[in-house]
Structure 1
Amino acid sequence: MATELREAQAHYLGHRERLRERFRAKGADSLADYELLELILFRSMPRRDTKPVAKALIEKFGSFAEVLSARPERLIEVKGVGESIAFDLKVLQAAALRLSLSDARQRPVLGAWSAVIKYCRAAMAFDDQEQFRILFLDKKNRLIADEVQQRGTVDHTPVYPREVIKRALDLGASGIILVHNHPSGDPTPSRADIDMTKFIVEAASKLGITVHDHIIVGRDGHASFRALGLI
């Protein structure tokens, strides 16, 4: 039994070093999603084989990004994943989002549109529940705050326009960008999305606040109300 255990340990320890060396030599692009996830799990699982857990996570959620976006209670449904591993994965997601958002903070948001879209997709595209997020901008279109105002179900988020406008006034924002996700994957605006946006645009304009865009993100891409001529 002891010999078998030593052989099993030698196997995964050798695998770990080979994976590390491939990352050092060729970078992340040389690794499959589950292999990159293995590298991350090495520190969370120092004395266990990470490959089965990494593969199970990818199989359940579909991709590296979707694993990081999964809620902790869903992560721990996977065999071998406990609260500490789920916590480590959520910390990694928070770090990735902080890095992504820093790109958008470097210059006026409207001049860093690709960075804004990248951030919104990273933050929301793979969430299995709808959330309504607002980016608040100052007079120079720099980001003041990024806040999730509401969370909902798999296909609905209650949005309260008065709360949107009130928060913009509280922050002294001159402009806002509305963002929400469609867990279905299809970012096409619904009739309710269009009506709600129109109401917020009209209410905001009366107080000198510009709604620059409403972005819907999903697994299959994103939709911009401004690009679609809806604002």
Structure 2
Amino acid sequence: MTEKPHYLDHRDRLRARFKSGGSEALQDYELLELFLFNSIPRRDVKPIAKDLIRTFGNLSEVCAADFHRLTSVKGIGEKTALDLKLLHAASIHMGRKSLLNRPILSSWPALLDYCRTAMQFESVEQFRVLFLDRKNRLIADEVLGQGTVDRAPVYPREIVKRGLALEATAIIIAHNHPSGDPTPSHADIEMTNLVIDTAKAVGITVHDHLIIGREDIASFKMLGLM
């Protein structure tokens, strides 16, 4: 009889630990292993999972990593890289769905979690606008600017134009700092004031501007900047 590969018993033990203790019972690389079992069914994926965590830092950063950077890790082909990107996309999608048609101002922790998932590990600046109706329910969430490691093009008139098309009465704007530091820059403050003034002219309120860093989120409202 053919000897059973050694990693199959390991997979069974890991699944049993997850079943009994959930994600808290496992380290990041072990959770990643569980996912890779299905993506790479006939290999020992423990070394691959550890290499991914070592390269990118943690499970969230692995899933958010650029496709080409993922395939540069030994053992990660295009199919597996796509599977990991799908996992990240599904997380963002579920976060957005959990917010749609709900009053955003009373769902603030969920909003911050969503922004972290969607933006905290982006390698370039991304400018996102959340459009709200009269009851402050989320009606749309769109990326309206994407640029370089330290700048994303922002056009206040385009934001307002889109808001009017959606019949939004309020917005929340958010962008990430790939450097990891969410401290608002002078340019961030100037741009925010311009968006506020442009939106106010057509009856659209700007509730907040969030800057998403690697570990923290800066709120212009909480900082007294608006």
TM-score, structure 2 as length reference: 0.96
The aligned residue for residue 163 of structure 1 is: 158
Aligned mate of 2:221, from 221, 226, 230? 226
- How far has the Cα of 1:158 moved from its partner? 1.3
CA distance in 2, matches of 1:116, 1:221: 14
- How far has the Cα of 1:88 moved from its partner? 0.7
The aligned residue for residue 27 of structure 1 is: 22
The aligned residue for residue 95 of structure 2 is: 100
Aligned mate of 2:55, from 60, 71, 75? 60
Count of residue pairs the alignment pairs up = 226
- How far has the Cα of 1:200 moved from its partner? 0.4
- How far has the Cα of 1:105 moved from its partner? 2.8
Deviates more, 1:172-181 or 1:160-169: 160-169
- How far has the Cα of 1:10 moved from its partner? 2.1
- How far has the Cα of 1:102 moved from its partner? 2.9
Q: Does residue 40 of the first structure (1) align with residue 35 of the second (2)?
A: yes
1:1-231 matches, within 5 Å, as 10-105=5-100, 107-231=102-226
Task: State the one-letter code of the partner of 1:183.
Answer: P
Could you tell me which runs of 5 or more consecutive residues in structure 1 were left unpaired when the two chains were aligned. none
CA distance in 1, matches of 2:217, 2:158: 25
8 Å contact 2:101–2:139 — kept in the other structure? Answer: no
CA distance in 2, matches of 1:84, 1:22: 27
CA distance in 2, matches of 1:100, 1:106: 13
CA distance in 2, matches of 1:90, 1:157: 23
CA distance in 1, matches of 2:166, 2:12: 50
Task: State the one-letter code of the partner of 2:175.
Answer: H
- How far has the Cα of 1:221 moved from its partner? 0.4
CA distance in 1, matches of 2:50, 2:85: 18
- Which consecutive segments of 4 or more residues in structure 1 shift more than 6 A? none
- Where 1:153 maps in the other structure, the secondary structure is coil
CA distance in 2, matches of 1:41, 1:58: 13
- How far has the Cα of 1:206 moved from its partner? 0.5
- How far has the Cα of 1:125 moved from its partner? 0.7
Q: CA RMSD in A?
A: 1.4
Could you tell me which runs of 5 or more consecutive residues in structure 2 were left unpaired when the two chains were aligned. none
- How far has the Cα of 1:104 moved from its partner? 2.2
Task: State the one-letter code of the partner of 2:142.
Answer: E
- How far has the Cα of 1:73 moved from its partner? 1.4
1:150-169 alpha-carbon deviations (Å, 9 max, x no partner): 11111111111111111111
